[in-house]
């Protein structure tokens, strides 16, 4: 392990105001080991170099900690449980890094590929995480299940679909007063104008857009913060596949 530049990882987390304890650092290292091991026999990520994983997966996942609404909610976990669902989590991004940093956060990881869910179960078990659940299926189907519909404080998603489609996959899971937070690259302007209508139809309101560089790089990213103001009409999401084929506009 000592061959990895963990000091640099700690420093990069500091950019987002996060203090990485030895215990949390060890969890990230175990996660990295599992990710590269499983990636040798199944497709989890194209990025395997440690420093690249740190910046493009771990630190990028944690970028949501810059958002006041997220940080403020997590700083009050002693009063009530805060819940988050990660839609199309893949190898666990951003959900697993967030769970490592905030162990009291209730996390649901959702993905439509079963073998990825198996990987996530293994990560949760090896890292001895509690109050985390990896589920297999389509967002469109789970969002109709009363156990999941409008049950979460935060619904987050990275690299899954364009904003209009993603809005239909994510907003139905959010409680009124909660947030859908979309991780996007810098080219978000067009998506935003195309996604406006979908946000409104599904009960959301675009509240903020945070732009940042991944630490020590010129890679630009955006976080879109959508507040859920009204309940999502019952007919949404439409049946699996329709939000991608016919995005709301």
Q: Tell me the window of 6-14, 74-82, 97-105, 152-160 that interacts with ligand SAM (CB under 6 A).
A: 152-160
Indicate whether 242 belongs to the interface with ligand SAM (CB under 6 A): no
Indicate whether 159 belongs to the interface with ligand SAM (CB under 6 A): yes
CB of 232 to ligand SAM, least distance (A): 16
Number of residues binding to ligand SAM, judged by CB under 6 A: 17
Distance CA 109, CA 132 (A): 8
Indicate whether 112 belongs to the interface with ligand SAM (CB under 6 A): yes
- The encoded tokens of residue 66 equal 């810059």
- Residue 28 DSSP symbol: H
Instruction: Please identify which residue in 105, 160, 181, 224 interacts with ligand SAM, judged by CB under 6 A.
Output: 160
Indicate whether 139 belongs to the interface with ligand SAM (CB under 6 A): yes
Is residue 108 within 8 A of residue 210, CB to CB? The reply is: no
Site string for ligand SAM, 178-217 (x = CB under 6 A): ----------------------------------------
Strand pairing category for 220-228 and 204-213: antiparallel
Q: 170, 215, 184: which is closest to 8 by C-alpha?
A: 215
Indicate whether 64 belongs to the interface with ligand SAM (CB under 6 A): no
Indicate whether 228 belongs to the interface with ligand SAM (CB under 6 A): no
Nearer to ligand SAM, 45 or 77 (CB): 45
Instruction: Please identify which residue in 111, 153, 168, 191 interacts with ligand SAM, judged by CB under 6 A.
Output: 111
Indicate whether 99 belongs to the interface with ligand SAM (CB under 6 A): no
Distance CA 127, CA 108 (A): 16
- For the chain, the C-alpha Rg in angstroms (whole number) is 17
Instruction: Please identify which residue in 55, 74, 82, 110 interacts with ligand SAM, judged by CB under 6 A.
Output: 110
Q: Tell me the window of 30-38, 109-117, 123-131, 204-212 that interacts with ligand SAM (CB under 6 A).
A: 109-117
Q: 170, 172, 158: which is closest to 89 by C-alpha?
A: 158
Is residue 16 within 8 A of residue 66, CB to CB? The reply is: yes
Q: What number of other Cβ atoms are within 10 A of residue 236's Cβ?
A: 21
Q: Kindly give, in sequence order, each residue whose CB lies less than 8 Å from that of residue 16, ignoring residues fewer than 6 positions away.
A: 59, 62, 63, 65, 66
Coil, helix or strand for 90? coil
* Cα 36-11-108 angle, rounded to 5 deg: 50
Nearer to ligand SAM, 77 or 112 (CB): 112
Indicate whether 88 belongs to the interface with ligand SAM (CB under 6 A): yes
Indicate whether 149 belongs to the interface with ligand SAM (CB under 6 A): no
* Residues of the shown chain interacting with ligand SAM in the complex, contacts defined by CB under 6 A: 88-91, 93, 110-113, 116, 138-140, 158-160, 169
């Amino acid at each position: 392990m000592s061959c990895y530049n963990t000091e640099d990882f700690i420093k990069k987390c500091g950019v987002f105001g996060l203090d990485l304890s030895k215990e949390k650092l060890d969890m990230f290292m175990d996660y990295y080991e599992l990710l590269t091991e499983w990636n040798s026999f199944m497709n989890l990520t194209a990025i395997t170099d440690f420093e690249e994983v740190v910046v493009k997966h771990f630190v990028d996942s944690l970028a949501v900690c810059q958002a006041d609404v997220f940080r403020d909610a997590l700083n009050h976990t002693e009063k009530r449980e805060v819940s988050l669902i990660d839609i199309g989590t893949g190898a666990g991004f951003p959900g697993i890094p967030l769970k490592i940093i905030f162990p009291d956060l209730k996390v649901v990881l959702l993905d439509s590929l079963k073998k990825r869910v198996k990987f996530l179960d293994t990560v949760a078990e090896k890292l001895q995480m509690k109050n985390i659940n990896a589920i297999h299926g389509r967002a469109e189907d789970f969002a109709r299940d009363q156990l999941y519909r409008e049950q979460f404080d935060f619904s987050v998603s990275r690299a899954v679909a364009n904003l209009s489609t993603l809005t239909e996959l994510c907003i139905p899971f959010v409680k009124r007063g909660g947030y859908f937070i979309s991780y996007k690259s810098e080219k978000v302007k067009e998506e935003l104008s195309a996604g406006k209508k979908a946000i409104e139809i599904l009960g959301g309101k675009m509240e903020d857009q945070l732009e940042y560089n991944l630490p020590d790089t010129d890679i630009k990213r955006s976080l879109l913060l959508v507040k859920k103001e009204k309940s999502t009409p019952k007919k949404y999401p439409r049946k699996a596949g329709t939000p991608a084929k016919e995005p709301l506009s």
